[in-house]
Amino acid sequence: MDIAAFDAGLLRATLARALRRGGDFAEVFVEDRDTLGLRLEDGRIEQTSGGHEIGAAVRLLSGEHTYYAYSDVLDEAGLTAAADAVAAAVRAGAGASAVVDLGLVRSAPDRHAVRVPPQTVAIARKAELVRAGNEAARAAGAEVAQAIVGYGDTRQKVLIANSLGDLVYDDRTRTRFSVQVVARRGDVIQTGHETVGGSAGFELVDEATARAVALTAAEKALTMLDSRPAPVGDMPVVMANGFGGTLFHEACGHGLEADAVAKDASIYAGKMGEVVAAPIVSAYDDGSLPNGWGSQAFDDEGVPTQKTLVIEGGRLTGYLYDRLRAREAGAAPTGNGRRQSFRHVPIPRMTTTYIAPGDATADDIIAATPRGFYAKSLAGGQVEPASGSFVFGVAEGYLIENGRITAPLRGATLVGNGIDILMRIDMIAADFDVKTGVCGKDGQGVPVGTGQATLRIAEMTVGGTG
């Protein structure tokens, strides 16, 4: 079944059926998702897996209440059952709103251009890339003990209809290639990880790219074999470009998501227009970044994605909204209503979030730091938006001594509080880069980009064992 050609009459009937006992907004989300994943470990492609899932969800909003039902059965019976489930749950009293006629809008095919649709490429060619990545990682050094190489592509087609009359079709392709390397010297084991991903087709990864990704991962692991335990204490921290953007994502981005703001569970609630960062800091969330891993033409509520200025010159200028929270706040949705699949309720989520580049160079920043910690790549982190407290593991870190990067350090963690840290950013370079990741919230994982240029935080807590 081609969901782009889904019966608009059935969609309209489903919306009306969902609204018949009350509610002021109804939506049908139809999804068709095809995935492929290859995984190599121990020199063998040990698993090749893929599949096809289809389904639809019906959502009904009544004031601040959300009713949601989904089904894997994409026919009239399945949609009717889902519409009946939400209609049965809605508390009577609110007047039913009418359904406006539906007119189809399609995403522009060149928005996140897919030059080589992965479905047109033989799986054997994808397997060759995975093997090339393994070869390159193994060749990087005798101490490489293990390489785990993954290739994945997804084509997700969605059709979103709502009672406002929107009918949006979006066809999304994502491709990703990742390598994890384990290096061993005696009892010391270290790991390195590198990934490339985008809202793009098979053209994203050729053999040279696969080898380069593998080599970077291997070099990280090998370098860290020489590492010594990181020191403990407060010190200047220089965050490298790219991966360092996880800092902004965790320390600030989650607090800008409008659900946390609405529940006053964010340190950024009630601070619009106020100073929340150093004057040199401006930041964006951009779901429209061409071919970005976190990009798509429309969000999962059919709202076009956009570039949203969230911090300008240190002042808070914007939150990230889905439809529900925008309605509540009297604001316009910002294209941040995202869901993992039809089995998940859309909520405000980041897309590609980043601190805008400055005009220093990374070398300037290191040279201006007599003693400090250089975080080259982060392992991941967590934050409590309510308090702003966050923690990051550092995958690759170094000591800075006398303005030079010296010994690699292991086992470091960066601990802090969102606004404190943003206020202490005192240098930003121009070497902007974006990395890919999967962000988890409320049990839903969505692809996101995190970015920044090299920057310095004047003081931050480093937790290590040394």
The 3-state DSSP class for residue 137 equals: helix
Q: Is 178 in the site for other proteins (CB under 8 A)?
A: no
Q: From the CB of 83, what's the least distance to other proteins, in Å?
A: 11
Q: Is 121 in the site for other proteins (CB under 8 A)?
A: no
Identify the DSSP state of 215.
Answer: H
Instruction: Out of 79, 132, 230, 362, point to the residue binding other proteins (CB under 8 A).
Output: 230
Q: Is 185 in the site for other proteins (CB under 8 A)?
A: no
- DSSP assignment of 33-89: EEEEEEEEETTEEEEEEEEEEEEEEEEEEETTEEEEEEES--SHHHHHHHHHHHHHH
Q: Rounded CA gap, 63 and 202, in Å?
A: 44
Q: Which residues pair with 463 in a beta bridge?
A: 413
Q: Is 50 in the site for other proteins (CB under 8 A)?
A: yes
Q: From the CB of 119, what's the least distance to other proteins, in Å?
A: 12
| Other CB atoms within 10 A of residue 3 CB | 16
Q: Is 444 in the site for other proteins (CB under 8 A)?
A: no
Q: Is 190 in the site for other proteins (CB under 8 A)?
A: yes
Q: Is 184 in the site for other proteins (CB under 8 A)?
A: yes
What are the residues whose beta carbons fall under 8 Å from the beta carbon of 166, sequence distance 6 or more? Answer: 102, 105, 160, 302
Binding mask 239-268 toward other proteins (x if CB under 8 A, else -) reads ---------------------x--xxx-x-
User: Which of the residues 323 through 382 are near other proteins (CB under 8 A)?
Assistant: 343, 345, 379-382
Q: Is 123 in the site for other proteins (CB under 8 A)?
A: yes
> Between residues 347 and 365, which has the closer beta carbon with respect to other proteins?
347
Residue 44 burial class via C-beta count within 10 angstroms: exposed 0-12, middle 13-18, buried 19 and up: exposed
Q: From the CB of 75, what's the least distance to other proteins, in Å?
A: 10
> Between residues 42 and 101, which has the closer beta carbon with respect to other proteins?
42
User: Which of the residues 71 through 110 are near other proteins (CB under 8 A)?
Assistant: 71-73, 81, 85-86, 89, 91
Q: Is 191 in the site for other proteins (CB under 8 A)?
A: yes
Q: From the CB of 381, what's the least distance to other proteins, in Å?
A: 6
> Between residues 184 and 315, which has the closer beta carbon with respect to other proteins?
184
User: Which of the residues 404 through 443 are near other proteins (CB under 8 A)?
Assistant: 410-413, 415-417
Do the Cβ atoms of 419 and 314 come closer than 8 Å? no
Q: Which of 78, 65, 58 is nearest to 23 (CA)?
A: 65
**Sign of the four-CA dihedral 408, 412, 413, 415:** negative
User: Which of the residues 258 through 317 are near other proteins (CB under 8 A)?
Assistant: 260, 263-265, 267
- DSSP assignment of 305-367: P-EEEEEETTEE---B--HHHHHHHT----S-EE-SSTTS--EE--SEEEEPP-SB-HHHHHH
Q: From the CB of 331, what's the least distance to other proteins, in Å?
A: 19
Q: Point out which span in 22-30, 121-129, 159-167, 286-294 binds other proteins (CB under 8 A).
A: 121-129
Q: Point out which span in 109-117, 186-194, 353-361, 431-439 binds other proteins (CB under 8 A).
A: 186-194
Q: Is 44 in the site for other proteins (CB under 8 A)?
A: yes
Do the Cβ atoms of 155 and 118 come closer than 8 Å? yes
Q: Is 391 in the site for other proteins (CB under 8 A)?
A: yes
Q: Which of 113, 374, 335 is nearest to 236 (CA)?
A: 374
Integer angstrom CA distances of residue 211 from 37, 196, 208, 214, 223 = 18, 12, 5, 5, 18
> Between residues 384 and 426, which has the closer beta carbon with respect to other proteins?
384
> Between residues 65 and 106, which has the closer beta carbon with respect to other proteins?
65
Number of residues that bind other proteins (CB under 8 A): 79
| Other CB atoms within 10 A of residue 11 CB | 22
- DSSP assignment of 237-261: EEEPTTGGGHHHIIIIIHHHBHHHH
Q: From the CB of 31, what's the least distance to other proteins, in Å?
A: 10
Q: Point out which span in 157-165, 169-177, 202-210, 230-238 binds other proteins (CB under 8 A).
A: 230-238
Q: Is 49 in the site for other proteins (CB under 8 A)?
A: yes
> Between residues 224 and 281, which has the closer beta carbon with respect to other proteins?
224
Instruction: Out of 69, 140, 149, 316, point to the residue binding other proteins (CB under 8 A).
Output: 69
**Sign of the four-CA dihedral 416, 419, 424, 427:** positive
Q: Is 390 in the site for other proteins (CB under 8 A)?
A: yes
Do the Cβ atoms of 369 and 402 come closer than 8 Å? no
Q: Which of 289, 30, 356 is nearest to 162 (CA)?
A: 30
Phi, psi of 259 (to 5 degrees): -70, -40
Q: Is 207 in the site for other proteins (CB under 8 A)?
A: no
Q: Is 55 in the site for other proteins (CB under 8 A)?
A: yes
Q: From the CB of 379, what's the least distance to other proteins, in Å?
A: 5
